[in-house]
Amino acid sequence: MKTINKKINQVLILLSLLTVGLINAQTITAKSSKTTVNGTSPMHDWVMNSSTATFVGTVSGNAITNAKFIIAVKALKSEKGGMMDNKAYKALKSDTQPNITFTAASLPVGKTNVNGKLTIAGVTKAVTFPVNVVKNGNSYTITGSESLKMSDYGMETPGFLGVHTGDVVTVTVNIVAN
């Protein structure tokens, strides 16, 4: 009888600890975001911006877990106008792959390199990015910047009349979530 009571008490303690963990877990979403893609070409440097993206994660202790960032390809807009946008959308295969997605198991508070999976133009790669997560009350500011090769994702560099952009782009992301 004592063994059964001891087991029941252990199970109750375990359940209460799990319940406290679940109650303390808080889902956060992006309240604002800014994504910038900088590239080069023999003619001129170029920039595409978006202030529309989706971010969701779960606050767990001193980290954001199950983080997922999604940006619609067509939310990126060039300072060079519609023709540049259309060339970029074609390179990004927006008709069949409308989103760029980054997922990470954990984004710890502070400056760190985060491991995750990045999907661009239908190609998913394991990546490591430098990220800074700053907690301010219930709000989290997540920033990161990294250079990527378009060819690593099976993309042809956009071009016009035989002049193509450079293969390397720098992507910068700034998210405020709570």
Q: Is residue 12 pLDDT above 80, yes or no?
A: no
17 contacts: CB under 8 Å, gap ≥ 6: none
Q: Kindly list the domain boundaries of the chain, sorted by start residue.
A: 26-177
Count of residues making up the chain: 178
Distance of alpha carbon 137 from alpha carbon 71, whole angstroms:
26
Nearest to 63 by CA among 34, 19, 31, 26: 26
pLDDT mean over 73-94: 91
Statement: residue 66 has pLDDT above 90: yes
Residue range 106-144, pLDDT digits in tens: 999 999 999 999 999 999 999 999 999 999 999 999 999
Predicted local distance difference test score (pLDDT) of residue 6: 55
Average pLDDT over residues 67-79: 96
Instruction: Calculate the average pLDDT of the chain.
Output: 88
Q: What is the band of 78 on the pLDDT scale with cuts at 50, 70, 90?
A: very high
**CATH homologous superfamily, domain 26-177:** Lipid/polyisoprenoid-binding, YceI-like (2.40.128.110)
